[in-house]
Structure 1
Amino acid sequence: MMKAIDLFSGAGGFSTGAQMAGVDVVWAANHWPAAVTIHAQNHPNAQHACQDLQQANWMEVPRHDLLMASPCCQGHSKARGKANGNPQHDASRSTAWAVVSAAEHHRPAFAVIENVPEFTRWALYPAWCAAMDALGYALTPMIVDAADHGAPQHRERLFIVAVRAKHSIMLRLEKRAHVPARSIIDFSAGNWQPIEKPGRAAATLRRVQAGRRAHGDRFVMPYYGGGSGLTGRCLSRPLGTITTRDRWGVVDGNRTRMLTAQECRAAMGFPDNYILPTKHTEAVHMLGNAVCPPAARDVIAAMLEAA
């Protein structure tokens, strides 16, 4: 069986997707202790390390055929907000060099790197690609929407498939039927509140009114950001992107609530029995940062088929 390692493993989306594709994850690492704990609970057969991967000793990492990595995206993402230009994002972007360092030491046959599409606009992206090329890797970058691979949310991410070969491979990535948001929402669960209550923001009430006009009594709407902010989103479509803090509210008649952590887990495509942190905000943060398992599964499966 093919063996893989997972850099910047977070909650374990890449590892879960790899397992769905028939790959054995033997090692995973992340700098956040809480994420390492959750990953270890869900992937107990893998070795785990809690460390800054830019300081990693790759000699301690077991042999593997596939390197998976999802370096920090905050320095690239449009969602970085007021901290745009902050030196912390220079440090964030530099985590991508850990992928080169690990690949140089182990030279696995394959690597798959996930990030936001803006990663390709990084000033050092050409240099990063050149470094991977110097190690003998041919790169196949592609933009993948998780909704096209069975997850009930639209989530566009960049996947770069690297193969130790003279020429990049052509992946046949077939699209799956979209899964509607209604399939993951439990109207009997969650902390419902009346829409009309003292202190409710006027902007929220306007969103509710617009959503009712467009979609009736049941729909979802974002509480911040763009996308469906003015009209809401019908339940027959996938959700918009799950983020690291509560974003999507559910409206049911005269009541509303935010998505539960369990609904966010389902929107990401994790199994229903996947263990989450008990604290809601921590669970949502990990899920919003995670690689979408169904997308990772299909990318890895297509890579193995093409190879």
Structure 2
Amino acid sequence: MKAIDLFAGLGGNSEGARQAGVSVVWAANHWQPAVDVHAANHPGTSHICQDLHQADWTQVPMHDLLMASPACQGHTPARGKERPHHDATRSTAWAVVDAAEFHRPTFVMIENVPEFAKWQLYQPWCAAMSALGYALAPMILDAADFGVPQHRRRIFIIGTRTKHPVELRLPQLEHLPASSFINFDEGAWTPVEQSKRSPKTLARIAAGRKRYGTRFLAPYYGSGSGKTGRCLSRPIGAITTRDRWSVIDGDRMRMLTRNECRAAMAFPDTYQIPDNHRLAVHMLGNAVPPPMTKGVIEALLKAA
């Protein structure tokens, strides 16, 4: 089976497809640094850096599976208040319709945040895909169920050229704890007690110590764990595009390293990521955990 990867980013979909035995023949993204990293990890794939609204689909290889992760910034609640550019990011989903209309692949797999289904134009988008002959099966999935040591809820929409939507039998693997990827011998540690430390951070750490002891996680923002800390015996919360999770060890603390973020996203240790920490975290926070894509594709192939 051959696939293409739209809005490929760091390459989570491509890596998951590769692990499922699918050949990714073409990948595209609008941001050159992401294209460069993707190409380093998938040298056998043809790459293009382009706004996909302007893509020439005649130049894209034939394929059986179209994978796409359109921009989520206009949908996710993490974006904060509505901004002028969010309409443009939401519109990237229409590039999927353009690609599917030209090539009519057997399968289409779209990944995004769950709020994608609340988009004002979600129903017209689904209608457009239906008009092309695709029966759509949307599913809200948690990465932790696929063996990723992270709770990360995403919508996967599977399109098949069939009369009825496909029904997938997906794995429900044992949840892996955050302790599985945290290395207490690495990272840049600093004392917890510092004059520059915010009162909210100190209060969060105090609450975590009370509940979990000397070692735990403390996110820098958000509700839930953002107020109480989070134990190491359960999956971490979502890895985001900027540093969010701090590791507490007694009277010292640090943020997750880029390698820990890679492991939390379940990319192989050999998967190349930028040396620059901020850039690596940004790409990882936007990525798809490969085991999710692998599990969905394997289930799709069994059901087809």
Distance apart, 1:81 and its partner CA = 0.6
**Residue identity in the other structure for 1:260:** T
Distance apart, 1:225 and its partner CA = 1.7
State the match for 1:273 in structure 2.
270
**Residue identity in the other structure for 1:88:** H
Distance apart, 1:87 and its partner CA = 2.3
Structure-2 separation of matches of 1:209 and 1:71 = 39
Unaligned runs of 5+ in 1: none
Structure-2 separation of matches of 1:278 and 1:149 = 28
Kindly report structure 1 stretches of 4+ aligned residues shifted beyond 2 Å. Answer: none
Residue 221 in 1 paired to residue 218 in 2? yes
Structure-1 separation of matches of 2:244 and 2:197 = 16
Matches within 5 A, 1:290-301: 290-301=287-298
Distance apart, 1:174 and its partner CA = 2.2
State the match for 1:68 in structure 2.
67
State the match for 1:26 in structure 2.
25
Report the secondary structure of 1:105's partner residue.
Answer: helix
Report the secondary structure of 1:246's partner residue.
Answer: coil
Structure-1 separation of matches of 2:195 and 2:141 = 42
- Residues 205-251 of structure 1: per-residue CA shift (max 9 Å, x gap): 11111000000000001011223011111100000000000000000
Report the secondary structure of 2:248's partner residue.
Answer: strand
State the match for 1:138 in structure 2.
135
Q: Normalised by the size of structure 2, how large is the TM-score?
A: 0.99
**Residue identity in the other structure for 1:169:** V
Residue 182 in 1 paired to residue 179 in 2? yes
Distance apart, 1:113 and its partner CA = 0.2
Aligned equivalent of 1:106, options 89, 103, 106? 103
Matches within 5 A, 1:45-194: 45-82=44-81, 84=82, 86-194=83-191
**Residue identity in the other structure for 2:253:** T
Distance apart, 1:198 and its partner CA = 2.2
Structure-1 separation of matches of 2:290 and 2:38 = 13
Structure-2 separation of matches of 1:41 and 1:226 = 37
State the match for 1:208 in structure 2.
205
Structure-2 separation of matches of 1:226 and 1:148 = 23
Structure-2 separation of matches of 1:203 and 1:213 = 15
RMSD: 0.7
State the match for 1:37 in structure 2.
36
Distance apart, 1:166 and its partner CA = 1.2
Structure-1 separation of matches of 2:213 and 2:293 = 35
Q: Is the 8 A contact 1:179 1:238 kept in 2?
A: yes
Percent identity (aligned): 65
Report the secondary structure of 1:91's partner residue.
Answer: helix
Structure-1 separation of matches of 2:220 and 2:99 = 40
Structure-2 separation of matches of 1:183 and 1:241 = 16
Residue 235 in 1 paired to residue 194 in 2? no
Structure-2 separation of matches of 1:196 and 1:115 = 39
Aligned equivalent of 2:261, options 261, 264, 276? 264
Q: Normalised by the size of structure 1, how large is the TM-score?
A: 0.98
Report the secondary structure of 2:188's partner residue.
Answer: coil
Unaligned runs of 5+ in 2: none
Structure-2 separation of matches of 1:135 and 1:199 = 57
Q: What is the total number of aligned residue pairs between the two structures?
A: 304
**Residue identity in the other structure for 1:149:** F
**Residue identity in the other structure for 1:213:** K
Distance apart, 1:50 and its partner CA = 0.1
